[in-house]
Amino acid sequence: MLDGGALTARLAERRDGGADRDTLLRAAVEGIEAASDRYDWVGIYLLEDGELRLHNYVGEETEHTRIPVGHGVCGTAVAENRDMNVPDVRELDNYIACSLHTRSEIVVLIRDRETGAIHGQLDLDSDRPAAFTDEDEVELRRVADWLGRLFGDV
């Protein structure tokens, strides 16, 4: 099970040691992915010039390195300004399949701490249906909130 508090404490230590934002975003993805067998693909997309761009990931390679706002689960989360927990991706019309094995997906937005503006998102896929629990949402939200602080001046 992901412990968002423990992960962000480790990230904070690395930041204090001088790690830059890209390194911390990578470490966050690796830390989340290692936390549960239910997490088959974990990545961070950043919102840049009006589209989502894949920053880094662990899991099967994907061709979806850029996703327009409004497309797929990822782009819908931004367009509707909300997190998404999709228990069955097969029921979505505009789902963008990264892997044919994926059955459920969760997107948690990374927001600016001060303004609430969206900087990006955590995106997790699972090969299991309805893999993501309320507890996952809470822990991922902790990590996303911490990451949001890294974008202070953007």
Please report how close the Cβ of residue 143 comes to ligand SME at its closest, in angstroms. Answer: 18
With CB atoms as reference, the residue minimizing the distance to ligand SME is 72
Q: Which is nearer to ligand SME, 13 or 60 (CB)?
A: 60
Give residue for tokens 């892997």: 99
Tell me whether residue 8 or residue 126 sits nearer to ligand SME (CB atom).
126
Convert residues 13-42 into a mask of x (bound to ligand SME by CB under 6 A) and - (unbound): ----------------------------x-
Among positions 4, 72, 120, 148, the unique one binding ligand SME when judged by CB under 6 A: 72
**Looking at beta carbons only, is 8 or 46 nearer to ligand SME?**
46
Question: Among 7, 11, 74, 147, which residue sits at the site for ligand SME (rule: CB under 6 A)?
Answer: 74
Which token pair is 80? Answer: 């509707």
Contact set for ligand SME, span 125-144 (CB under 6 A): 125
CB of 131 to ligand SME, least distance (A): 13
DSSP, residue by residue, the chain: ---HHHHHHHHHHHHHTT--HHHHHHHHHHHHHTT-TT--EEEEEEEETTEEEEEEEESS--S-SEEETTSHHHHHHHHTTS-EEES-GGG-TT---S-TT--EEEEEEEE-TTT--EEEEEEEEESSTT---HHHHHHHHHHHHHHHGGGTT-
Q: 104, 72, 77, 74: which is closest to 88 by C-alpha?
A: 104
Q: Which residues bind ligand SME (CB under 6 A)?
A: 41, 43, 62, 64, 67, 72-75, 95-96, 98, 105, 123, 125
